[in-house]
């Protein structure tokens, strides 16, 4: 059973690292590109929350 939770933890860490990169990238964007990136971030947050 702990292997299952370790898998969830691994997925969460991957998603979290990916979200950090996207947030950093979004800070440098403007207009429509920024809106797109924020949408991707929101989707990633939803995915992370579903793992929790």
> Can you give the pTM of this predicted structure?
0.82
3-51 per-position pLDDT tens digit: 999 999 999 999 999 999 999 999 999 999 999 999 999 999 999 999 8
Q: Quick one: three-class SS letters along 11-43?
A: HHHHHHHHHHHHHHHHHCCCHHHHHHHHHHHHH
Look at residues 19, 2, 1, 5 and name the one whose alpha carbon lies nearest to residue 51. 5
Q: How far is CA 15 from CA 32, 33, 35, 42, in A?
A: 23, 21, 19, 12
Tokens, residue 2 = 């702990």
């Amino acid at each position: 059973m702990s292997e299952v939770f370790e898998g969830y933890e691994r997925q969460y860490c991957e998603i979290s690292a990916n979200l950090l990169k996207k947030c950093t990238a979004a800070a440098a964007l403007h207009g429509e590109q920024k809106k797109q990136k924020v949408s991707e971030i929101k989707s990633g947050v939803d995915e992370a929350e579903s793992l929790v």
